[in-house]
Amino acid sequence: MKSVSAALAAHLAGPVTTLATCWRITRVDGQEFFFTDHDRDLVFEGHVYKARSGYSRTAIANDASLSVDNLDVEGVFDSEAISEKELRAGLFDQAEVRIFLVNWADPSMGALRMRRGWFGEVVLTEQGVFRTELRGMTQALSQRIGELYSPECRADLGDHRCKVPIHPPVVARETAYALGDHVRVATGSGSGSEVYEDRIYACVVAGTTAPDQPAYDTTVGQQTADGSAVFEAMEAWSRAGAVMSVVDRAIFTASIDEPRAVDGWFAGGVLTWESGANAGRSIEVKGWTQATGQIELFLPMGYVIEIGDLFRIHPGCDKRLDTCIARFANVLNFRGEPYVPGQDAMMSYPDAR
């Protein structure tokens, strides 16, 4: 049962209504957009809902079951605040959407909440028409909760269970660090990740950093005293790179200083753009060729990749025990069961021969 104010309930029960649909869209980066299908802008709860037309949706239906209550949306965003490039770049994927009705003649009556959910993948055709699915809140209930035994690791590379320091925080001043903590320290010049010179630092003596940053020794294995804490330089997993040539939006060559990067080293890893039109976007890497420095992405970027664009990239993990040992030396945090018998072993029977 939906909750509305007494005034709005009386208006809905009347012979004539003056209702308008409002959309509040919140992207994952925090930007918000407000739209209404009314013929003029509406002010509701301190936000201006822009009058826009050109969209259609399937009917909103609710039931008491736990089935996913999705609806499809199709239309044309004619607001200058939303560009075709942003849609193609995927900036509206997984955006939160709230749909509600208001009395445009008296918005102070409050709102009738119709639907809250999230956009699926937004598809924009060459004709400028967008299509997307609005996934209801019960979508989250369709996700698997809990874990099953598996030969592969169930942790994600760099998460709190894996603990490989893929992208540790920047060292802070007058801050206590414990043994085993990892930090990044800006020791060089340049932009983005270039200032970290492909190094991270492990705390080998617990303590508190000094008010002013000392000169860190970037030689791998060398230690630097920072206040009462001592840090040791290590090769960073995330490496700074720059685009050298471009084939298309998914294939390009790059300059990356990584002596460990044999063919396939970055396959399955993540590349994050730090400059250029795609800055801030992350994408999974499909392939890496050491001899040519060629990177292939799983999906094309939303914007054109330009020569000189900067990025950071870290290697992939296929979640096998051998990779965890040989590449990351992280077997103590391996979250799989490679020696548990599989279905073939469980279904086998004695052979009398």
The tens place of each residue's pLDDT in the chain, 353 residues long, gives 577 888 888 988 989 999 988 888 898 888 888 888 888 889 998 999 888 654 555 555 555 454 545 566 666 555 556 667 777 677 777 888 888 899 999 999 989 888 888 887 777 766 667 777 777 666 666 666 677 888 999 999 999 999 999 999 999 999 999 999 999 999 999 888 999 999 999 999 999 999 999 999 999 999 999 999 999 999 999 999 999 999 999 999 999 999 999 999 999 999 999 999 898 889 999 999 999 999 999 999 988 999 999 999 999 999 999 999 999 999 999 999 998 887 777 777 776 55
CA dist., res. 72 & res. 115, Å (int) = 12
- CA–CA separation, 231 vs 341, rounded Å? 43
Instruction: Say what the pLDDT of residue 336 is.
Output: 92
For position 68, what pLDDT does the model report? Answer: 47
Q: What is the pLDDT of residue 217?
A: 96
Q: ∠ at Cα 27 (49, 41), nearest 5°?
A: 5
Give how far Cα 168 sits from Cα of 68, 220, 260, 268, Å: 38, 17, 20, 20
Say what the pLDDT of residue 5 is.
87
Q: At the topology level of CATH, where does 239-314 sit?
A: Thrombin, subunit H (2.40.10)
Q: Domain coordinates of the chain in residue numbers?
A: 8-140, 176-235, 239-314
Strand partners, 284: 270
Location of structure tokens 């790059």: 254
Query: Tell me, what's the pLDDT at 126?
Result: 66
* Contact criterion met (CB below 8 Å) for 130 and 74: yes
